[in-house]
Structure 1
Amino acid sequence: MHHDLTPELLSPAGNWDCARAAVAAGADAIYFGMPRFNARLRADNFTEHDLAPLMEFLHRRGVKGFGAMNTLIFTNELEDAEAQLRLIAEAGVDALIIQDLGLAKLAREIAPGVELHASTQMTITSPDGLAFIETLFPMERAVLARELSVKEIERFQSSRITAHRSLLTPLEVFVHGALCVAYSGQCLTSESLGQRSANRGECAQACRMPYELLVDGVQQDMAEVRYLLSPQDLAAVDLIPDLVKAGVKSFKIEGRLKSPEYVTAVTRVYRKALDAAIHDQASTVSDADKYELEMTFSRGLTNGWLGGTNHPYLTHGRYGKKRGPLLGEIIDCGHGWITLGNRTSVPIQAGDGVVFDAGENRDLEQGSRIFRVEGDRLVFHRELSGVNFERIKPGHTLYKTSDPKLESELRRFWQNAKLEENKTPLHLTITGKPGEPLVVSSSFDVERSMFDVRCSSSMVLQEASKHPLSTETLAAQFGRLGETLFELGSIDNQLEGNCHLAVSELNRLRRALVDQLPEPELPAPIGPRNDRSYRDLLPHSNPQSAIRSPQLSVLCRSLEQVEAASELGIETIYCDFEDPRRYKDAVAAVKSEARSSKSEILLATPRILKPGENGYLKLIESAKPDGVLLRNLAALEYYKHRSDLRTVGDFSLNVANPLTARLLMEAAALESVPVSY
């Protein structure tokens, strides 16, 4: 399968305004969701009636549209999910971004003309994991987990899974936006605390809440450090050249819940950075550009995990919501005013919004707009600011949260942008000489269909006495092609001698030419090519199969628990130790000749495997267990041909319907998989 690996900038669109903003700012593609089956259910999203107009709007401007169906699909939703797949295909959507493996298989079957992109929610953290998915179905894109570094991403490009095959799927990486505290597709915090699953598009953002820290039952004094699970945001604008060299195809901006002003600012900055990297030029991204990134939305901008793992830096715990850039430290203050010291270079003007950081409960923080700027002194309206200045003290810091001037400029940019439609260059050849008609002709193709146009003047060319027809004159006349698919590309002026033709005849000739040009119609969308259904992919029922008797299995996290389970004769013991080097002790305890236990022990793989970490799997093998509890895609790839071991899938494989269950059990020869949630 051949893939176009030209780097692409992919922007978020939670609504029509954001879609227009992305196009105006230079996105190559946008991604969006519908009211169901997408991971941003709180976004405005697009209805089924929006799909066709949206795709027409995008395609006329040379921009692609990707539909996100990036949640787990329950069994009773398969019929509705299938209907949505067909709707998306019929509307001409370019690609589907999918998390659920069963849904991805279904999409390949019933909408083969729509590209398939593996969502970051699939938890693709290693080349081996991607290799396993490639055995299930072909894909046009894999969105890697956000927790990978640039060096780890490079391993995908260089990895050879077998002696004969390299990875085939182009890579997509998030380069800007919010980060989760959990690995992509593996967060159950929101589900466990509030019955709102992130894998179902309902994340309650538990990681953005304040927490208390207890150590051995004793609450610790953390002062202002209370947002213990809230990472800062990702801003990899300086790493774009490294990611291009690492072989990344698509550069993705997070933010389907953000404003069109955010989409505008972030897209145009990354457009600038990506264009420079593509042409191997030095980046022209300025401090003013980075200021725009920080002002439109920021919890603090970082390289995320792309520069490697540094949790204290990434998650400092001091706040969990938008902050903006630091302005300085308060060195003096009074009723209605403050004086700043240690000023940063961030501009300040009247009307800007600020927040006072007193190291207190963030719910009690004070903020206001600046009324007047007097040098390093900032004056606030005494009555309308709402600030209790008795709480403001020297040593507190001040952050800028709003820049009305910038917001207005960004709003004007996307609202007033003239979004030109893509046009095909028309190359004209013009021939003739005095005493003969002027002939204009061209050959071109539109959507792989060849067209020939040819028009002749109704009067012959005259000998010019003063101003013969020049290439410039011809270009001015034939360049006005109106509401067609074309724009004048070039003119091959082959006129012989000094020719003259009345302007009125040139205009008539141009109109005749336009009448022969193809109408500005978009190509017909690629719809479903067969009548297959999700029912065709369900597991085969076997009336001869007997229902097995209930069986008790136990998950143990210490050697003492393993020994106790073995003494009780538990048939299957799953062993999940923090240190896998102790697995051999657990296996020895179960298989000890001193015990007459009939227990079998299965060792759990790590939830996550990154490039180069298959040594953990070899360590598990060396312990000689009865089987393995497989928790990630790379482990499925590693053990799929091992008939000497029991292989059981775990909940982290996100099996939410029988299509996914059948796919994994057959492809990885699994004994069983649990139902996920």
Structure 2
Amino acid sequence: MRTDIKREDIELLAPAGTWEAMRAAVANGANAVYFGVEKFNARARANNFLMEELPQIMEFLHTYGVKGFLTFNILVFENELEDAKELIDACINAGVDAVIVQDLGLVKMIREISPDFPIHGSTQMTITSPEAAEFTKPYDMERVVLGRENNLKQIKKIADSAKLPLEVFVHGALCVSYSGQCLTSEMWGGRSANRGECAQACRLPYDMMVDGEHKDMGNIAYVLSPKDLNALELVPELIEAGVTSFKIEGRLKSPEYVANVVSKYRKAIDAYFLGVTDYQPDLIDIQELEQSFSRGFTYGFLKGTNNKQLVDGTFPKKRGVFLGHVKKVYRDAILIDLQAPLKRGDGIVFDFGDPTQDEEGGRVYDIRIKGQKIEGGVNEGLYEIVMGRNDVNLHNINVGDKVWRTSDMELDRRLRRTFETEKPYRTFPVNLEVYGAVGQPLVTVWTDVKKGTSVTINSENPAEEALKRPLDEEVLREQFGRLGGTVYELDELHVELTGNVIVPKSEMNRIRREAVEQLFALRIAPPKYTRVEQEPDVYEDTAVPEPVDGADARLIALCRSLEQIEAAGQTDVDYIYADFEFVKDYPQAVEAARKAGKKIALATPRIHMPGENGILRQMLKHQPDGILIRNTGAAYFFEQERPAGIELIGDFSLNIANHKAVNLFLERGMDRVTASYDLNTEQMIDLLSQSKSEHMEVVIHQHMPMFHTEHCVYCTFLSEGTDFTNCGRPCEEQRVSLKDRVGMEHPVRVDTGCRNTVYNAVDQSGAEYLGEFLGNGVRHYRVEFLEEEGKRVKEVLKLYRQALAGEVTGTHVWRTLNATNQLGVTRGQLTK
């Protein structure tokens, strides 16, 4: 057990999408709450709060000594910077304790406004290594939220190395894709996950295609839908690994869910500081957590990668508590072998293995055993369950169906009672010192022990000589201790009175009321942050782009096979990027490019984990002309170890969406950067019009990389193994694609870290917008290939070179690609 930390050093951070949820969090022991307002947060579907409510929110939270963090964890587009500044100003004025930020351009802007306003790096920053944490240090961020894919050993390495407070998700829904790296919603519906509009495509069914053939998966269809995270029993290990903030997911969840989960983790954290280092939750605690929300529980990646445990694949939605199986169906009841408690009024559902179909379910009307009604609840055993007549059609229920308890009204009522009360949720100790003598004012000094603030209140008139009962400790404790209805309770009382002193009770009541009022004002007073002396203009660091002649533009081919590189080498492209699945194949890529007389850059993996610097050093050994950098961990590594003459190109995955982010990465050593794929053409033009666009690169053609996951579908469904150590590497022998509901087959590729990328089946082209990009100063254009043969590579590159030179129109390119591609092409998210 660690002795260098105290209970108050560990933060329990709860979600709040509504006022009720916020009260539930505070009432059940949260140290901090995170919430969003109507704009700029990653839960656009939540009710959210209003910016005007910020002072009220912070007053409520600070009343109970709870911190409030505002979620600002989305990308900020160029035309939104002024509104973003307005919200930051409102946060500073209201005393928000920190903003949780994804966009590094926003981080830069906040530091221009205030050097000490606290910033937390969101999990959408994809911070998964010590180097990624180091990258943030020049911006004095208070803490970073690690990616949910980090395991306990990696967390400890980051904690030991980075020396920053770490926040880790411990409970709730898991994204299958790395946060900040999912473009599926953007690609398919223009609803960006990086803008809080996730459409949950990972919860949809997919058919698995292996080498072009459909693989029979039985009742497994939800191959990208993870179970829910539950790290309750890992609380001691997380504390010892260096985690300082335990974050619960769920701003879209009910207040009962918040009350339930917060109370369970409060219990586990408190147990650790009572000496329990091998915490084992009660079975009832687990069942209650399952009841509030569960797709089945998993440790996620905290205990390491186990693909078999992460994804069940048979259902994508909340199930609740598993009760057992149907043993027999009677005329008016269902016989179930119960494995968990059940009572009248509980909601249950019958699961026949196909969640895409309507399921039977409803409330339990009666419980019987051999026809005899049972009063009260039951636990394990064979019982006849009678449902409401209008709830279920017994003809649709079959022997063997799974049964789940989906709701427990009694539990909900108990949880609501924790926060639906007029009494204060908690009280805080006040120490009181009383000094007095006859003929002098009574002096009282009140100290809010937790807050560390004191106020002195004197009697308005001098104390008098007592004729009967003078003031003593008992009288003073009784009179000054009447603090019911406030958040205070009298703790220590120190009395120094000279003579038989007395003051009227009415005066003592006034002293008490005034003391409470002043202490409370100090308790809820917003913290003071430093502001720059002169209010900055968010656009004072912009640039005016110079139009570019297309004949002078540079064309870049990103290739994912040696055949593609050899084909690109036979064209007039200016640069080749190699993005191979395995770094071991990069020497061949460099050799092929050199043979063709072409400059070549090697792409880093999209994710950087602790201990993976060897991959980056190996890339340098191949002496490329440039490095395509895809994460801030690699950005920091090459910032420190960059050899002379090597270009650094920031890729789309750095999520650059405004000119401040462009400037930040250029200041950190990038030669040019690529805009985020979250931008449509209009937003791209807005960005280019304010940026040093000569240092920007536009991807004009690609298969959009949608999901990027630590979860490996090859390992999960094509091997008996659980991770890369025992899977047999089926990815080296077979090709998988995922077929969606409209018949599109999306290729799944694996990188050198065994991470999967699911690419959109259809090419995306921005050829029609070339004129606008050239007019805004862009001179670097990238065409990306996925599985194209060499002949197709040359055809596509020739078309784009002709378009840049003005020999054909962008519309001609688009129509030609559409006609010559079996699946056609799409404009994707670029559509205005």
Structure-1-length-normalised TM-score: 0.90
TM-fit CA distance, 1:393: 2.1
1:532-580 Cα shifts (integer Å, max 9, x gaps): 4353563455889999921111111111111111122421100011111
TM-fit CA distance, 1:265: 0.4
Partner of 1:255: 250
- 644-653 or 562-571: bigger deviation: 562-571
Of residues 232, 236, 253, the one that matches 2:231 is: 236
* C-alpha distance 525-206 of structure 1, shift in aligned 2 (>3 A): same
Asked if the contact 1:323/1:400 (under 8 Å) is kept, the reply is: yes
Using the alignment, how far apart are the partners of 1:16 and 1:382 within structure 2?
Answer: 34
Using the alignment, how far apart are the partners of 2:240 and 2:198 within structure 1?
Answer: 34
Asked if the contact 1:604/1:628 (under 8 Å) is kept, the reply is: yes
Residue 475 of structure 1 aligns with an amino acid whose one-letter code is R
Structure 1 residue ranges without an equivalent (≥5)? 160-166
Asked if the contact 2:102/2:122 (under 8 Å) is kept, the reply is: yes
TM-fit CA distance, 1:62: 1.1
TM-fit CA distance, 1:671: 3.1
Partner of 2:408: 403
1:327-349 Cα shifts (integer Å, max 9, x gaps): 112222223322123x32x2101
Asked if the contact 1:104/1:116 (under 8 Å) is kept, the reply is: yes
Using the alignment, how far apart are the partners of 1:449 and 1:20 within structure 2?
Answer: 25
Using the alignment, how far apart are the partners of 1:221 and 1:263 within structure 2?
Answer: 40
Partner of 2:464: 459
Residue 291 of structure 2 aligns with an amino acid whose one-letter code is M
Partner of 1:294: 290
1:341-372 Cα shifts (integer Å, max 9, x gaps): 3x32x210111111112122433322222211
Of residues 259, 263, 272, the one that matches 1:264 is: 259
Asked if the contact 1:7/1:278 (under 8 Å) is kept, the reply is: no
Using the alignment, how far apart are the partners of 1:483 and 1:125 within structure 2?
Answer: 46
1:43 is aligned to 2:42:
no
TM-fit CA distance, 1:429: 3.3
Asked if the contact 1:272/1:284 (under 8 Å) is kept, the reply is: no
Of residues 185, 189, 193, the one that matches 2:184 is: 189
* C-alpha distance 296-537 of structure 1, shift in aligned 2 (>3 A): farther
* C-alpha distance 535-22 of structure 1, shift in aligned 2 (>3 A): same
Using the alignment, how far apart are the partners of 2:537 and 2:240 within structure 1?
Answer: 40
Residue 396 of structure 2 aligns with an amino acid whose one-letter code is R
TM-fit CA distance, 1:517: 6.9
Using the alignment, how far apart are the partners of 1:187 and 1:254 within structure 2?
Answer: 18
Asked if the contact 2:293/2:320 (under 8 Å) is kept, the reply is: yes
* C-alpha distance 33-473 of structure 1, shift in aligned 2 (>3 A): same
Partner of 1:505: 504
TM-fit CA distance, 1:219: 2.1
TM-fit CA distance, 1:528: 6.9
1:207 is aligned to 2:202:
yes
Partner of 1:164: none
SS of corresponding position for 1:663: helix
Of residues 79, 84, 89, the one that matches 1:76 is: 79
Q: After TM superposition, which residue ranges in structure 1, 4 or more long, deviate above 6 angstroms?
A: 435-438, 445-450, 482-485, 542-548
Asked if the contact 2:439/2:462 (under 8 Å) is kept, the reply is: no
Partner of 2:597: 598
1:477 is aligned to 2:479:
yes
Of residues 564, 577, 597, the one that matches 2:580 is: 577
Using the alignment, how far apart are the partners of 2:365 and 2:516 within structure 1?
Answer: 60
1:586 is aligned to 2:589:
yes
Asked if the contact 1:176/1:252 (under 8 Å) is kept, the reply is: yes
- The within-5 A match list for 1:502-541 is 505-512=504-511, 514-515=513-514, 519=518, 520-521=520-521, 522-524=524-526, 526=528, 529-530=531-532, 531-533=534-536, 535=538, 538-541=541-544
Using the alignment, how far apart are the partners of 1:514 and 1:368 within structure 2?
Answer: 53
Of residues 117, 120, 127, the one that matches 2:120 is: 117
Partner of 1:52: 55
1:572-623 Cα shifts (integer Å, max 9, x gaps): 100011111010111112223xxxx331010000000111111110121122
Of residues 32, 35, 42, the one that matches 2:35 is: 32
Partner of 2:630: 631
Asked if the contact 2:665/2:673 (under 8 Å) is kept, the reply is: no
Partner of 1:664: 665
TM-fit CA distance, 1:53: 1.1
1:328 is aligned to 2:324:
yes
* C-alpha distance 452-232 of structure 1, shift in aligned 2 (>3 A): same
Structure 2 residue ranges without an equivalent (≥5)? 370-381, 679-832
Asked if the contact 1:438/1:461 (under 8 Å) is kept, the reply is: no
Partner of 1:418: 423
- The within-5 A match list for 1:60-459 is 60-135=63-138, 137-159=139-161, 167-281=162-276, 283=279, 285-341=281-337, 343-344=338-339, 346-375=340-369, 376-381=382-387, 383-387=389-393, 389-416=394-421, 418-420=423-425, 423=428, 425-430=430-435, 439-442=442-445, 444=447, 451-455=455-459, 458-459=463-464
SS of corresponding position for 2:673: coil
TM-fit CA distance, 1:431: 5.5
* C-alpha distance 339-545 of structure 1, shift in aligned 2 (>3 A): closer
1:81-133 Cα shifts (integer Å, max 9, x gaps): 11111122222211100100001111122144531011000000100011012
TM-fit CA distance, 1:669: 3.2
TM-fit CA distance, 1:11: 0.5
* C-alpha distance 379-443 of structure 1, shift in aligned 2 (>3 A): closer
* C-alpha distance 514-605 of structure 1, shift in aligned 2 (>3 A): same
Of residues 543, 553, 561, the one that matches 2:556 is: 553
SS of corresponding position for 2:144: strand
1:170-197 Cα shifts (integer Å, max 9, x gaps): 1100110100110111011111222211
Asked if the contact 2:434/2:445 (under 8 Å) is kept, the reply is: yes
* C-alpha distance 382-350 of structure 1, shift in aligned 2 (>3 A): closer
Using the alignment, how far apart are the partners of 1:509 and 1:55 within structure 2?
Answer: 31
Partner of 1:644: 645
Using the alignment, how far apart are the partners of 1:37 and 1:517 within structure 2?
Answer: 37
SS of corresponding position for 1:267: helix
Asked if the contact 1:142/1:171 (under 8 Å) is kept, the reply is: yes
SS of corresponding position for 2:420: helix
SS of corresponding position for 1:552: strand
Asked if the contact 2:443/2:456 (under 8 Å) is kept, the reply is: no
Using the alignment, how far apart are the partners of 2:186 and 2:242 within structure 1?
Answer: 36
| Identity fraction in percent | 42
